[in-house]
Amino acid sequence: MTPQQIALVRQQFGLIARSSDAFAAGFYDTLFTLDGTLRPMFPADLSAQRGKLVKVLAHVILSLHDLGAVIDDVRALGARHASYGVTITDYDTVGIALLTTLGDHLGDRFDDEAQAAWALCYGTLADAMIEAGRQAPAAAA
C-alpha cells in the first residue's frame, strides 16, 4: 500500500470508529445475507464479536505503515481461524461484506480510490491470515 492509501484508510476508519457498533452490526447483517451458511459458525449473541472485530481492525490499521509490528498477531489470528473451519472462499465473502458495509457507511467518500485502498488493506490482512492457517492448522486447534 502507498503512504497515500494508508492515510486514506486510516482517515476513513476514524469516521467509522465513531459508530463502530453500528458498522460492525451492518457488516454481520451483510455477511449473513451474502452467505447464510456462515451464521451458525458464530455465537447467537454477536455483541462481543462486534467489539473484537473492530478492535482488531483498529490494531492493524494503526500499524499499516509497519506491518512487521503486528504480523505475529495477524498470523496467530489466521491460525485460530483455520481451527474455526474458515475457508479461503469465506475470506472472499468477508471481503465483499466488508467493502459493501464500508460503502454503506462512507457514501460518496467511498470512491474508486478508497475502494482500491480498502481492498488492498483487506487483501493484505487476509493473505497473511490464510498463509498462517495453511502452515499451522494443527497448532491452531
| Residue placing its CB nearer to ligand HEM in the complex, 14 or 123 | 123
Please answer whether residues 128 and 79 qualify as being in contact, where contact means their C-beta atoms are separated by less than 8 angstroms. no
119 binds ligand HEM per the rule CB under 6 A? no
Interface pick for ligand HEM out of 16, 46, 64, 86 (rule CB under 6 A): 86
16 binds ligand HEM per the rule CB under 6 A? no
Residue 53 Cα to chain centre, angstroms: 7
126 binds ligand HEM per the rule CB under 6 A? yes
Interface pick for ligand HEM out of 6, 56, 67, 96 (rule CB under 6 A): 56
42 binds ligand HEM per the rule CB under 6 A? yes
| Residue placing its CB nearer to ligand HEM in the complex, 77 or 102 | 77
81 binds ligand HEM per the rule CB under 6 A? yes
| CA 4 to each of CA 1, 30, 117: distance values in angstroms, whole numbers, following the listed order | 8, 28, 9
Task: State the Cα–Cα distance between residues 71 and 92, nearest whole angstrom.
Answer: 20
Please answer whether residues 93 and 34 qualify as being in contact, where contact means their C-beta atoms are separated by less than 8 angstroms. yes
| CA 59 to each of CA 39, 66, 69: distance values in angstroms, whole numbers, following the listed order | 25, 12, 10
117 binds ligand HEM per the rule CB under 6 A? no
Stretch that binds ligand HEM, among 10-18, 22-30, 109-117, 121-129 (CB under 6 A): 121-129
